């Protein structure tokens, strides 16, 4: 039988069987070499370098080891830096500044309110708003504050984005709301107001524009820029604050006042929800002030009798006689259909679910450069003065 030869060795052609044995021996030696190199690397490199087996590769021909550098994790965005947010649409504006829809990191939508720090006299109200936003985290009926931070010239509040819009927008769209919605929405506002008052805080600017809806149709009281805190027991405060149409008589008459002013504003708001109008119809400011302080509220006769009763008790000129001041508002006949325990736990199904916002709302802002945003970028690393001590905070929501 002829022997097969296939390769030339040191002494000529080698038999095929011998070639196979030689190759097997070489492969065994190569594998031993690889294991030796791996053991050596494992002894000198940290454990994280070995989480993926493919990080160590060996060239089967050259016998050299290759150790690719592990990819570094992308740094987490800083919730207290304006550069961590992508800005979209303007949600609201006023004398305070703007509220803008923004995205934190890659996906979390938030509302950012910015205020210019004009002078030290404004620091107190800015600090109060930050404090109330922190307190609000304990109530499902108050707009949640996620964070607050500042640059040299601006204070910024990061809050939950409530995509259902405001009751003011609902009134513009529908004119007025049906009784079921008035009962439900005002019931949740009562829960929010009573929570604030239990924390010795008065809002001072309750109105449809400051009552927002989430996507399910639950309300949140928002905008604590005029809030007053630390009102203990029977203490009172002074000062013109609020929106004229919703101001209580005692504010307009420069008298001392307490949480009763919120119940007055609440009454005006309910009347507007149910009728589409406030109960004092004057276009001139002076005439409006006179009507609020002296005239009886205009309550249409076609309204539900229980609602008419509720409005008359909320719109008492004498704040000590006003419903809500000493409790009892939950037991009023207008709210007889409400299970308050279920409502407080948000177990009740809202009678109305807002439409989803237009996709246009989420488009990255590409219009005229926003001057306030540009200034934030310029000032974010400023080490100068004009810093409000104790202002910044970060809740757990943006840390996840």
Does the pLDDT of residue 17 top 90, yes or no? no
- Name the pLDDT band for 68 (thresholds 50, 70, 90): low
In this prediction, residues 23-47 reach a mean pLDDT of 61
From the CB of residue 377, how many other CB atoms can be counted at a distance below 10 Å?
Answer: 11
123-135 per-position pLDDT tens digit: 889 999 999 999 9
136-180 per-position pLDDT tens digit: 999 999 999 999 998 888 899 999 999 999 999 999 999 999 999
Report the share of the chain in percent with pLDDT over 90.
Answer: 57
* Neighbour-count burial for 70-87, b at 16+ CB within 10 Å, e otherwise: eeeeeeeeebbebebbeb
Does the pLDDT of residue 384 top 90, yes or no? no
- Name the pLDDT band for 363 (thresholds 50, 70, 90): confident
Q: What is the pLDDT of residue 16?
A: 58
Cβ proximity of 219 and 352 under 8 Å: no
> Which of the following CATH numbers is that of domain 167-344: 1.10.510.10, 3.60.15.10, 1.20.210.10, 1.10.8.60?
1.10.510.10
User: Which is more confidently placed, 185 or 20?
Assistant: 185
Q: What is the pLDDT of residue 316?
A: 98
- Name the pLDDT band for 15 (thresholds 50, 70, 90): low
| 171 Cβ contact partners less than 8 Å away, ≥ 6 residues apart | 177, 208, 272, 273, 276
* Interatomic CA distance for residues 280 and 298, integer angstroms: 6
Q: Which residues are annotated as a binding site for ATP?
A: 113
Beta bridge partners of 15: 5
- Name the pLDDT band for 205 (thresholds 50, 70, 90): very high
Q: What is the pLDDT of residue 60?
A: 43
- Name the pLDDT band for 97 (thresholds 50, 70, 90): confident
From the CB of residue 4, how many other CB atoms can be counted at a distance below 10 Å?
Answer: 10
Q: What is the pLDDT of residue 148?
A: 95
Pairing of strands 65-66, 57-58: antiparallel
In this prediction, residues 223-252 reach a mean pLDDT of 92
Q: What is the pTM of this model?
A: 0.79
Closest listed residue to residue 149, CA positions, set 202, 62, 86, 85: 85
Does the pLDDT of residue 47 top 50, yes or no? no
- Name the pLDDT band for 3 (thresholds 50, 70, 90): very low
Name the CATH architecture for the domain at 82-161+366-399.
2-Layer Sandwich (3.30)
What's the Cα-to-Cα distance from 69 to each of 66, 76, 170, 171, rounded to whole Å? 10, 21, 56, 60
Q: What is the pLDDT of residue 364?
A: 80
Mean of all residue pLDDT scores within the chain: 84
Q: What is the pLDDT of residue 173?
A: 96
Q: Which residues are annotated as a binding site?
A: 113
For residue 104, what is the DSSP state? E
Among the listed ranges 89-103, 147-161, 165-179, 358-372, which one has the minimum average pLDDT value? 358-372
Residue ranges of domains in the chain:
5-66, 82-161+366-399, 167-344
Beta strands per DSSP E along the chain: 5-9, 12-15, 57-58, 65-66, 85-94, 97-104, 108-116, 145-150, 154-160, 211-213, 219-221, 393-394
User: Which is more confidently placed, 363 or 52?
Assistant: 363
Does the pLDDT of residue 9 top 60, yes or no? no
In this prediction, residues 95-107 reach a mean pLDDT of 84
Q: What is the pLDDT of residue 380?
A: 46
Among the listed ranges 24-33, 59-68, 110-119, 252-261, which one has the minimum average pLDDT value? 59-68
Q: What is the pLDDT of residue 111?
A: 96
For residue 234, what is the DSSP state? T
302-336 per-position pLDDT tens digit: 999 999 999 999 999 999 999 999 889 999 999 99
- Name the pLDDT band for 2 (thresholds 50, 70, 90): very low
From the CB of residue 103, how many other CB atoms can be counted at a distance below 10 Å?
Answer: 17
Active site residue 205: yes
Q: Which of 205, 214, 223, 262 is catalytic?
A: 205
- Name the pLDDT band for 8 (thresholds 50, 70, 90): very low
């Amino acid at each position: 039988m002829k022997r097969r030869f296939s390769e030339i060795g040191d002494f000529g052609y080698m038999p095929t069987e011998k070639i196979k044995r030689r190759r097997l021996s070489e492969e065994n030696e190569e594998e031993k070499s690889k294991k030796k190199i791996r053991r050596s690397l494992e002894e000198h490199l940290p454990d994280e370098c070995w989480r993926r087996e493919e990080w160590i590769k060996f060239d089967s021909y050259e016998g050299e080891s290759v150790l690719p550098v592990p990819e570094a994790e992308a740094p987490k965005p800083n919730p207290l830096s304006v550069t961590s947010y992508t800005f979209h649409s303007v949600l609201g504006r006023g004398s305070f500044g703007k509220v803008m829809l923004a995205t934190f990191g890659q996906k979390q939508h938030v509302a950012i309110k910015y205020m210019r720090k004009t002078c030290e006299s404004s620091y107190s109200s800015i600090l109060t708003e930050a404090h109330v936003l922190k307190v609000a985290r304990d109530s499902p009926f108050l707009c949640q504050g996620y964070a607050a931070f500042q640059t040299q010239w601006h204070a910024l509040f990061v809050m939950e984005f409530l995509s259902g819009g405001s009751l003011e927008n609902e009134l513009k769209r529908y004119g007025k709301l049906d009784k079921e919605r008035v009962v439900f929405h005002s019931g949740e506002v009562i829960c929010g107001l009573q929570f604030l008052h239990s924390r010795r805080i008065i809002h001072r600017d309750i109105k449809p524009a400051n009552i927002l809806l989430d996507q399910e149709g639950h309300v949140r009281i928002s905008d604590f820029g005029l809030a007053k805190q630390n009102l203990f027991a029977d203490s009172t405060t002074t000062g013109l604050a609020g929106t004229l149409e919703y101001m209580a008589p005692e504010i307009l008459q420069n008298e001392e006042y307490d949480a009763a002013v919120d119940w007055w504003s609440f009454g005006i708001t309910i009347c507007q929800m149910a009728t589409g109008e406030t109960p004092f119809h004057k276009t001139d400011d002076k005439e409006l002030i006179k009507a609020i302080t002296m005239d009886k509220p205009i309550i249409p006769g076609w309204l539900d009798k229980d609602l008419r009763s509720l409005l008359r008790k909320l719109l008492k000129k004498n704040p000590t006689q006003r419903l809500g001041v000493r409790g009892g508002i939950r037991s009023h006949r207008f709210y007889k259909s409400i299970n308050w325990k279920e409502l407080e736990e948000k177990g009740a199904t809202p009678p109305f679910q807002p439409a989803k916002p237009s996709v246009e709302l989420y488009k990255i802002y590409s219009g005229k450069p926003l001057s306030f945003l540009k200034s934030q970028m310029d000032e974010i690393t400023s080490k100068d003065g004009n810093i409000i001590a104790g202002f910044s905070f970060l809740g757990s929501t943006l840390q996840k």
